[in-house]
Amino acid sequence: MAVLGATAVRRLGGRTRTLMTVTENQKRLVIVGATGMVGGYALRYALDHPAVELVTTIGRRKIGVLHSKLNEVLHQDFADCSALADVLSHQDAAVFCLGTYTGSVSDVELRTITAGYTIEFARVLRTSSPTAAFSFLSGSGADPTGRSRIAFARYKGEAENALFAAGFPGVYIFRPAYIYPVQPRKEPNWSYRLLRAIYPAFSVLFPNQVIRADDLARAMVDIVVRVRQEPRSVVFENRDIRAIVKSVHPQIE
């Protein structure tokens, strides 16, 4: 594990801009998976968020961002997060976006990354910061019963069950449908290439089956640092995620 400090400041782009002001009760936020699509947007949004005091990212490689509110931690083995105990102490919330695509790894690796890494990280966070809230990137169709024929659904459901049982005061499960990448990228498979091509029409015909990656990231951060509600455990389907974004950012179409 290595800790990378940053003192320089670089403004990050985005569809909306938050004015930085000093506020009371600012939050200390951990983001896992900040080099990924949703995690990257979550990082950008959190760094500009006036309710966030410090963002700690945990990942295998550098994210290439310098910011006065950023504490970057490199950690290679998510099967054992014991070394992160000190880093995860005194944290108010975690946004967990670590994952992989079905078909990109073996079934054993898929379960390890999807469920195993989540459960191990949650174990250490719960011990180090027992009052922290947990925002988890799951997926539409996640099956907590374990009966689904789709491996991804079973493993996401396994992770959800473990998080609900971990004892966090607030667990917020996000189950997006198709996540629109916003920025051009190399799509992981042909189905994603197809969905990106038809997104303009698909989003009009089936608005509750799509969510922009940046909007999803905003919702995952807002729910643990900005939205006023009693701590609880709840699942947000795609429709609910869109409603969160609209309620907090009504200017976003």
Domains and CATH numbers, the chain: 2-7+19-248 (3.40.50.720)
pLDDT at 4 over 60: no
pLDDT at 205 over 80: no
Half-sphere exposure of 246 (CA within 13 A, CB side): 9
Angle between helices 238-248 and 213-225 (to 10 degrees): 70
Query: Residue 14: is it exposed, middle or buried by C-beta count within 10 angstroms (0-12/13-18/19+)?
Result: middle
Average pLDDT over residues 147-168: 96
Q: Would you state the pLDDT for residue 194?
A: 66
pTM: 0.84
CB 57 within 8 A of CB 83: no
In order of 85, 243, 244, the CA distances from 252 in angstroms are: 38, 11, 11
Name the percent of the chain lying above pLDDT 70.
80
Residue 104's pLDDT band, with cuts at 50, 70 and 90, is confident
Q: How far apart are CA 129 and CA 173, in angstroms?
A: 19
Q: Read off the pLDDT of residues 57-89 as tens digits, 9 standing for 90 and up.
A: 999 999 999 999 999 999 999 999 999 999 999
Alpha-carbon torsion 119, 122, 126, 127, what sign? positive
Q: How far apart are CA 79 and CA 81, in angstroms?
A: 6
Average pLDDT over residues 90-104: 91
Q: Would you state the pLDDT for residue 125?
A: 98
Q: Would you state the pLDDT for residue 61?
A: 94
